[in-house]
Amino acid sequence: MRKSVVGAAVILFILLVGLYLMMPFRAAKDKYKVGVLQFTKNNLSTLQGFKDGLRELGYHEGENVEFVFDGPAPSKKELGTYMLKLLEAKPDLIFASPTPAAIVAGKMTEQSKIPVVFAPVNDPVSAGIVKNERAPEGNITGVRLSASDGRRLQSLKDVVPSVNRVFIPYSPGDKSASASIRMLEEAAPKVGVTLVKKAFYPETNLLLEKDYVPENIDAILLPREGLVMSRIKNFVAVCFERKVPLSTPRFKQVEAGALTGYGFNGYEIGLQSARMAHMVFSGTKPSSIPVETSEDYLFINMKTAEEIGVNISATVLRQAHNIVR
């Protein structure tokens, strides 16, 4: 009898602890002001996910949360100016997206200690945003992308086995692009492809510079970085004209016409980062919130496959998380 009573007490205790952990944190204020710093329009779906995630947690825009957002900064040079405007608004939290914005937000809040949540960042350690992902020092934390660009290169080869030479446009000096290229260079010999890298600049015009993309390539793969990915429409147009596959890390860009992608869903990353912002509002310091890693998925656009004349095996299609038809 005594054992059964003790056992029941233990089970009750575990249930109570579980219920407590599942309960949402209580916000410490009646209303919050969130400053949004974004670079390019690539991550607008992430911002929408962030807003929707906060709403699900009880933060309703115009009632108990206000967003200060003048639109995405069109260039890295302008991020500092955009950030100054946000700081003048005295926000309770900065939402920064992606890597270039997170770098600027981190540096410009070092003195004020305004909490920063980033989403997403390719590699926050190599970018100098945090030193320790498990215990991020200072006032910044967020969601990073998994180190899966090598896996994306393999998935491109799986989707189109004839691919041998892969063209990689990249922004010189961009830390996110550098992290992607390191992963791709490590994976290329194992996958059995040759990388053809070429610098891409803000003034590069794909539609006018017909020789920018070499003739003897079998596919184009976009690294995880804002500038190159912001030109998705132009890269899709080039790939349709050349009849070559295009690989991107974002599902949204597969919907926009890229043949395939292995990577993240920006909207879901926004939802994920909203939970972290909620913890900050509830009194948890960013340094006590470990950096989280996003989920990766395989995406395929069958309309594009038909357009460029690519046949995709049933085996590969069964592995896809999202198929655009």
Edge to edge, what strands does the sheet with 219-221 contain? 194-199, 165-170, 219-221, 246-250, 260-264, 297-301, 322-324
Strand (E) positions, 113-208? 116-121, 140-144, 165-170, 194-199
Q: What was the pLDDT predicted at 26?
A: 52
At 280-296, the pLDDT tens digits run 999 999 999 999 999 99
Sign of CA dihedral 183, 189, 192, 193: positive
Q: How confident is the model at residue 259, as a pLDDT?
A: 98
Low-confidence ranges of the chain (pLDDT < 50): 1-3, 5-10, 12-23, 25
pTM higher than 0.75, yes or no? Answer: yes
The CATH class for the domain spanning 27-145+266-293 reads alpha beta
Boundaries of every domain in the chain: 27-145+266-293, 149-264+297-324
Fold equal for 27-145+266-293 and 149-264+297-324? yes
pLDDT at 137: 85
Closest CA to 115 of 308, 280, 289, 294: 280
| CB-based contacts of 17, cutoff 8 Å, min separation 6 | none
Strand intervals (E) in the chain: 32-38, 65-68, 93-97, 116-121, 140-144, 165-170, 194-199, 219-221, 246-250, 260-264, 292-293, 297-301, 322-324
What are 244-271's pLDDT values in tens digits?
A: 999 999 999 999 999 999 999 999 999 9
CA distances 222 to 137, 170, 228, 250, Å, are 31, 8, 7, 10
Q: What per-residue confidence (pLDDT) applies to 52?
A: 98
Q: Domain 149-264+297-324, what fold?
A: Rossmann fold (3.40.50)
Helix, strand, or coil here: 290?
coil
Asked whether 232 and 259 are in contact (CB, 8 A), the reply is no
